[in-house]
Amino acid sequence: MDTQFLNTFVSVVERGSMAAAARVLNITPAAVAQQIRTLEREIGVTLIARVGRTVSVTEKGARILEHARALLRDVADLRSIANDSSVSGELRLGACPTALAGMLPDVLARMVAKFPQINVFIRPGYSAELYRAVEGGELDAALVLQAPYPLPKTCDWLLLREEPLVLIAPKKYAGRDPHELLANEPLIRYDRNQWGGRLADAYLRENGIVPHERFELNALNAIAVMVDRGLGVSIVPDYAQPWPEGLHLVRMPLPQPSEPRRIGTVWSRSTVRIRLVTVLLAEARGAMTTKSRI
C-alpha cells in the first residue's frame, strides 16, 4: 500500500473536496480521484462518498481515518529518525490557554525559521489533561502550568516563566490599597478548582481576606474584561500578553509575598521524537530570554 494514497485520502476528508485536496497536494483532481479509487480497491471498501463536487467520508472510511493519520505520523517519524542530517517530522504538542496565545506563537516562529521541515500538531487544553496526554504518549510535550505533584520518571519539566499574582481593578481605583479593595469590592474569582486559581485562593486565606464573591471562572482574558466593565476586582497571575485591547484597568502588586504561577514545558523522555522536543526546548528558552529583555 502506498502511503501517499493514504495521505491523499486524509487530505480529501480534511478539505472536503478533491479539488481542494489537489491544490494542497499539488496534483490534479483526476490524480486525486485515481489514488482514492486505487486505495479503495486495495482495502476493499468505499472510503469516500461523492456527491457532485463535494465528498464525505463513509462510515467505513471514518473507521480507518484515525489509523491512517497515526500511520502517516509514524512514517514521518521514521524519516526523522533515519535522517540524521536534518531535523524533520511532526511534533505533537499541547498548550494551555494562556500559553497558547501568549507564549507559543513566539516559540513556533523561532522553530519554523530555523527548522522548516518540522510540522507541529497543536492540541489546546487545560494543564491537567495535557499532563495525562504526555504521560500516556498521546503528546510529545506540552506548555503547561507546573503540576502540584511530582512527575513520573518518564517525564521531565523545564520552567519558562514565573507569573506573580497581581490585583486587577478598574482604573478609577488606582492608588487604593489592594487588600482594602479585595475586602470591600465584589470579587471575580479565578477558578479555585484549577491549579492557577488555587494560588489566588491561598493568598486570600493566608491574609485573612473574606471577599464578597460575585463570579468564578477559569478564563483570564474574560476576567480582565469583566473587571474593565466594573463588575469587580480580581487576583490573577501577571500573565503574558496579549491582553484584550482597550481595557481601562490597573494591575497592582500585592502587599504580601505570594507563590507565583509557573509555566513551562513537560515532555516525555521516551518519545521517538525527542530530537524535535530538544529543538522545542531550545527555542522556548530563546523566546523567553528575548521577551525578558524587552
Residues of the chain with CATH 1.10.10.10: 3-82
Distance CA(235)–CA(246), nearest Å, equals 20
- What is the per-residue pLDDT across 193-202, written as a single tens digit (0 to 9) for each? 888 899 999 9
Identify which of 294, 287, 293 has the alpha carbon closest to the alpha carbon of residue 99. Answer: 287
pLDDT at 222 over 60: yes
Q: What is the pLDDT of residue 96?
A: 92
Distance CA(56)–CA(48), nearest Å, equals 6
Q: What is the mean pLDDT of residues 178-199?
A: 93
Provide the percentage of residues in the chain whose pLDDT is more than 70. Answer: 92
Q: What is the pLDDT of residue 109?
A: 92
∠ CA 170-173-166, nearest 5°, is 70
Tell me the three cell numbers of residue 229. Answer: 466593565
Mention the CATH class of domain 89-162+262-293: alpha beta
Distance CA(177)–CA(186), nearest Å, equals 15
Which backbone phi and psi does 124 adopt, to 5 degrees? -70, 155
Q: What is this structure's pTM?
A: 0.68
- What is the per-residue pLDDT across 103-153, written as a single tens digit (0 to 9) for each? 899 999 999 898 888 889 999 999 999 999 999 888 999 999 999 889 888
| Strand pairing report for 165-170 and 118-124 | unpaired
Distance CA(22)–CA(6), nearest Å, equals 14
Q: What is the mean pLDDT of residues 94-102?
A: 90
Q: Which CATH superfamily is domain 165-259 in?
A: Periplasmic binding protein-like II (3.40.190.10)
Q: Are 9 and 19 in contact (CB under 8 A)?
A: no
Residues of the chain with CATH 3.40.190.10: 89-162+262-293, 165-259
Amino acid at 17: S
- What is the per-residue pLDDT across 34-90, written as a single tens digit (0 to 9) for each? 888 888 888 888 888 877 767 888 888 888 888 888 777 766 665 555 555 456 678
Identify the weakest region by mean pLDDT among 25-29, 203-207, 223-227. 25-29
CATH number 3.30.420.40 is the correct assignment for the domain at 3-82: no
Q: Is the peptide bond before 242 cis (omega within 30 degrees of 0)?
A: yes
Q: Which letter, b or e, does each residue of 181-197 get, where b requires 16 or more Cβ atoms within 10 Å of its Cβ?
A: bbbebbbbbbbeebbbb
